[in-house]
Every structure is written in C-alpha cells, then in structure tokens.
Structure 1
Amino acid sequence: MSETVQPVSSAPQESVEQRVLRVIAVTRRVPVETIHATSTFEELGIDSLDRINILFELEGEFEIEIDDEQAKQVTTLQQMIDGITLLLAAKAAKEASA
C-alpha cells in the first residue's frame, strides 16, 4: 500500500503569479484580491523597505536568490512574476543537468 506524500508547500498547485501575489498580500497585510499582476509597486504603496521584505519572503517561498540590482529595476508585479519564472526555469535546468 503506497502512502500519500504531503507536499512541502501548503498550496502546491498555485501558479507563480498566485504565490507572488499571496506573498505580497501577506507582507503588506492586505487582501490578496486587492493585488493584481498589473499593479505597480507605487500603486500598492510599496516603499524600498517593503521591497526588501518582499524580496526576502519571495526568495524563501521559491528557494531562489534574487539579484538586488535586477530587483531594483522591477516596477510592476508582472515584471517580478516574469523574473521569478525565469529564475525557476534556470534553477530547474541546472538541477536537471546535475
């Protein structure tokens, strides 16, 4: 009889976008419904300290390292989602070749 293995994440089927929006909502203490991929950091009232906290949380959520200089150039949540998607693809390719 095989056992069901519980996923590490509480919501393993969430897309990258859903996970990013959830992390931002939790960090900003706002309902996730009020945050959209098209939102800018400015529209959400996210300052530089908030950005640092969000990046830290995203690195933990996705088990990746986000380059600080590249992160400074990101102005919208969609850019952040796209960047994380690329980092995850690079991580998967590296792990597959190892």
Structure 2
Amino acid sequence: MNEIAQRCIAIIAKAKNIPADSITLDTTFEELNIDSLDKINISFEVEEAFDIAIPDNALGSLKSVGDVVRGVEQLVAAKETSGSTTATS
C-alpha cells in the first residue's frame, strides 16, 4: 500500500475512532457508517494533509476508501504537474 493510501486510511480511522488496520481500499463508507457530515470533515482533513482542494461535487461520488485514495492520487498528480493546489476533474 502506498503512502497516500496509508495516510488516507489513517485520517478516516481517526475520524471514525477505529483501528486503521481494520480499513482496506475496498471498505465502503456504508460499512464505516460514514455520513455526509463525516465526508465533509474527512475531506477537510485530506485537503490539509495533502495541500489539495477536493471539488465539492466530487464528494457525492465517493463510496469507498479506494475512491478517496484514487481521487487524492489524481489531485496530487495534477498539482505536481501544474504547480497549483487546485485541480478539477
């Protein structure tokens, strides 16, 4: 598992107060009882941790931990390419 995945899992585990080793990329938000408020709070933490901006319209499409990781990977790659902290997809 790469560093981005590990950091995202740690953020989600902390937000839900559960052990990080109980979360995989295939774990769904439904399994973790993550609601829309949790998604917003987690997105703020992820944005701060990676110095990225997650588009508001992207939050609704996040259904699993893997979705978060893939989205962060894309935003980090776009930021590195453009030198910007904001990316759109």
Aligned to 1:76: 64
In structure 2, distance between residues paired with 1:63 and 1:74:
19
Structure showing greater radius of gyration is 1
Structure 1's unaligned 5+ residue stretches are 1-13
Q: RMSD across aligned C-alpha pairs, in angstroms?
A: 1.4
* Runs (4+) off by over 6 Å: none
Structure 2's unaligned 5+ residue stretches are 85-89
Q: What is the TM-score when the length of structure 1 is the normalising length?
A: 0.80
What is the aligned length? 83
Output one character per residue of 1:7-46: Cα deviation in whole Å (capped at 9) or x when no partner. xxxxxxx611000000001111111011111011001111
- Between the two structures, name the one with larger relative contact order (CA 8 Å, sep ≥ 6): 2
| Structure with greater proportional helix content | 2
For 1:95 and 1:67, the matched residues in 2 are separated by 17
1:59 partnered with 2:47: yes
Which of 13, 18, 32 aligns to 1:44? It is 32
